[in-house]
C-alpha cells in the first residue's frame, strides 16, 4: 500500500493558490476493526476507494442521515484536498420489507415510491452541500451480481438453502465472525430466539436470498424466484465497483452489527481477500440529550429542519454537525443551533467587505487546520483554526491592513471549503432570515425589498437633517430584527439578528 506524497501542486489544485509545504505527519484514522488509530495508506498511490452505506428509500431523510453523510463528505473533501482521487461509492437500498410495506400502505408501486424518495434524498443532501458520490448503485440494478455472490458462497460451503427456500449464510463457517463488533458467537446464539426461524441451522445465521412471497417483487434465481437480503447487497455492489479489497468502509455506529459484521463474513468468505482495510463509524444524534427516536416523538426530518425558518441557511446545520467529532455523539437542540449560527456569522462577518486576494500564502492557521484533520478528521479543532483566522482578519481590518486581511480571508474561504462551509457571499449569508424565538413569539420577518426601501428613505432623511424621522426608521428596522451598520455618510450594510 502507498500513501500519496504531500505536494504543493496537489493542494494548489484544490485551493487555486501557490502555497509552501508544511512538515507534517501522515493521516491517522481510527479503525473500528483494530480499535485504534492507524496511519492511513491507500492500496493504490494517489487513489482512495471508499464505500459508505447509503439509505433505504421508503421515507424522507432525517438528521441522523445528515450526520453520517456530512461526516463522510468531509472525509472525502479532505482526502481530495490532500491530493487523493477519491472513488466514492454510496449505495441505495431500493427493495426491502419496509419499502414493500410502505408502497402497499400508500397504494403505489415500489418504483414510484423509491423514485420519489430518491429525488427527495438528493434534494436534501444537495442543500447541505454533500457532494454526489462517484457511483450511486441501486440494489435492483445489481441483482445479477448478488445472485453470483450468493452462488459462490453456497458452492464454498458458507451458505445453504434452508427448508423454507431462503438461502442462509452459515456464520459457523467463518472463524473470524464477530471481530469487528466484538460479539461472541456463543453469546449471540444464547441470545437468539430459535423459534423465530426454525429453518435456520444456527440461530445466528442470516439470509442472503429471500424466497418470494405471493404478490412481492421477485427475480429468478437458481433457488427459485426471490429477492436479495439486506447484507448481501453492499458486498455485491462494493465488489463490483471497488474490487475485493478497498481502502475505507464507512457508516453509522448502528450498522456495525449486524450489517457490517455480516458484510465482512460474506465478502471475505467469498473472495478470500481482506475486503475493507479501514472501518469508520460515526456517532449517534441525540435530541435535547435524548436518543432520537420516532417513539419518543423527537424525530426530525432534514427538510423539516431546513424549512422551519429557524436556520439562516443550510450551512448552519452543516456547520453544527461539523462542530462535533464524527465518532462521538452529537446533541441536537435549538440552543446548539443558535450557537452554530452565531459562530458561522462571526466567520462570515470577518470575510465581509474584503476584495479578492491576488495571491496568498498560508499562515500557521492552515498548518493547525491540517494537523487537526490529519488526526482522524478532527473537525472541531479544524474549526478552531478557522476562528483564529477570523480573529486575525478582524485585527488586520482594524489596523487598515486590507491586503493582509484579504489574503487571510482567501485562506479562510479555502479551508472552509474543505468543511463545506463559507461557500456563500458574506452579504448573502448575513442578510438571510432567521426566526428569533422570544417568549414564544416570532420576530416579524421583512422582505429584502422592504428593508432596502426603508434604508433608502432613512438615508434621504439623514441627508436632509431629519434625524427624528431617521431614528424612527432605524427603530422600525430594529424591531424587525434588522441591524444597520453606518458610516458617516451612509448605511454601508445591514444584517438580520
Q: Which residues are annotated as a binding site for ATP?
A: 294
Binding-site residues for Zn(2+): 53, 234, 259, 263
Binding-site residues: 53, 234, 259, 263, 294
3-state SS record for the chain: CECCCCCHHHHHHHHCCCCCCCCCCCCEEEECCCCEEEECCECECCEEEEEEEEEECCCCCEHHHHHHHHHHHHHHHHHHHCCCEEEEEEEEECCCHHHHHHHHHHCCCHHHHHHHHHHHHHHHHHHCCCCCCCECCEHHHCHHHHHHHHHHHHHCCCEEECCCCCEEECHHHCCCCCCCCCCCHHHHHHHCCHHHCCCCCCCCCEEEEEECCCCCCCECCCCCCEEECHHHHHHHHHHHHHCCEEEEEEEEHHHHHHHHHHHHHHHHHHHCCCEEEEEEEECCEEECCEECCCCCCCCCEHHHHHCCCCCCCHHHHHHHHHCCCCCCCEEECHHHHHHHHHHHHHHHHHHCCCCCCCCCCCCHHHHHHHHHHHECCCHHHHHHHHHHHHHHHHHHHHCCCHHHHHHHHHHHHHHHHHHCCCCCCHHHHHHCCCCCEECCEECCCCCHHHHHHHHHHHHHHHHCCCHHHHHHHHHHHHHCCEEEEEECCEEEEEEEC
CB 59 within 8 A of CB 310: no
Cell numbers linked to 324: 462535533
Amino acid at each position: 500500500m502507498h500513501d500519496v506524497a504531500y505536494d504543493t501542486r496537489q493542494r494548489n489544485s484544490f485551493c487555486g493558490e501557490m502555497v509552501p509545504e508544511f512538515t507534517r505527519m501522515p493521516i491517522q484514522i481510527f479503525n473500528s476493526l483494530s480499535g485504534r488509530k492507524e496511519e492511513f495508506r491507500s492500496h493504490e498511490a494517489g487513489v482512495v476507494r471508499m464505500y459508505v452505506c447509503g439509505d433505504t428509500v421508503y421515507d424522507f431523510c432525517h438528521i441522523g442521515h445528515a450526520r453520517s453523510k456530512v461526516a463522510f463528505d468531509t472525509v472525502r473533501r479532505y482526502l481530495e484536498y490532500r491530493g487523493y482521487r477519491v472513488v466514492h461509492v454510496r449505495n441505495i437500498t431500493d427493495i426491502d420489507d419496509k419499502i414493500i410495506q410502505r408502497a402497499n400502505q400508500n397504494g403505489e408501486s415500489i418504483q414510484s415510491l423509491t423514485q420519489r424518495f430518491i429525488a427527495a434524498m438528493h434534494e436534501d443532501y444537495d442543500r447541505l452541500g454533500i457532494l454526489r458520490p462517484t457511483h450511486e448503485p441501486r440494489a435492483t440494478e445489481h441483482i445479477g451480481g448478488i445472485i453470483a455472490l450468493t452462488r459462490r458462497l453456497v458452492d464454498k460451503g458458507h451458505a445453504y438453502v434452508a427448508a423454507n427456500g431462503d438461502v442462509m449464510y452459515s456464520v459457523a463457517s467463518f472463524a473470524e465472525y464477530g471481530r469487528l463488533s466484538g460479539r461472541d458467537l456463543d453469546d449471540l446464539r444464547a441470545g437468539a430466539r430459535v423459534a423465530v426461524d426454525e429453518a435456520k441451522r444456527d440461530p445466528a445465521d442470516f439470509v442472503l436470498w429471500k424466497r418470494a412471497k405471493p404478490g412481492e417483487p421477485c427475480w429468478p434465481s437458481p433457488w427459485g424466484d426471490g429477492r436479495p437480503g439486506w447484507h448481501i447487497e453492499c458486498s455485491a455492489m462494493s465488489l463490483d465497483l471497488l474490487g475485493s479489497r478497498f481502502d475505507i468502509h464507512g457508516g453509522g455506529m448502528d450498522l456495525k452489527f449486524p450489517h457490517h459484521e455480516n458484510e465482512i463474513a460474506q465478502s471475505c468468505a467469498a473472495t478470500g481477500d481482506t475486503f475493507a482495510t479501514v472501518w469508520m463509524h460515526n456517532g449517534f444524534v441525540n435530541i435535547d440529550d435524548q436518543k432520537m427516536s420516532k417513539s419518543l416523538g423527537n424525530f426530525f426530518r432534514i427538510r423539516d429542519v431546513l424549512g422551519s425558518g429557524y436556520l439562516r441557511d443550510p450551512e448552519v446545520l452543516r456547520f453544527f454537525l461539523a462542530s462535533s467529532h464524527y465518532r462521538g455523539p452529537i446533541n441536537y437542540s435549538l440552543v446548539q443551533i443558535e450557537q452554530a449560527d452565531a459562530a458561522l456569522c462571526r466567520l462570515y462577518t470577518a470575510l465581509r467587505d474584503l476584495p479578492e486576494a491576488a495571491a496568498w500564502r498560508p499562515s500557521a492557521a492552515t498548518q493547525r487546520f491540517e494537523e487537526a484533520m490529519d488526526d482522524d478528521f478532527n473537525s472541531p479543532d479544524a474549526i478552531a483554526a478557522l476562528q483564529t483566522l477570523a480573529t486575525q482578519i478582524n485585527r488586520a481590518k482594524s489596523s487598515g491592513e486590507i491586503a493582509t486581511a484579504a489574503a487571510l480571508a482567501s485562506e479562510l474561504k479555502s479551508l472552509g471549503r474543505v468543511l463545506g462551509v463559507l461557500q456563500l457571499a458574506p452579504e448573502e449569508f448575513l442578510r438571510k432570515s432567521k426566526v428569533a424565538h422570544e417568549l414564544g413569539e416570532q420576530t416579524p420577518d421583512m422582505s429584502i425589498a422592504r428593508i432596502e426601501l426603508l434604508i433608502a428613505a432613512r438615508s434621504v432623511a439623514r441627508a436632509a437633517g431629519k434625524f427624528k424621522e431617521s431614528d424612527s426608521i432605524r427603530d422600525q428596522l430594529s424591531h424587525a430584527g434588522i441591524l444597520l451598520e453606518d458610516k458617516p455618510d451612509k448605511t454601508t450594510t445591514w444584517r438580520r439578528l
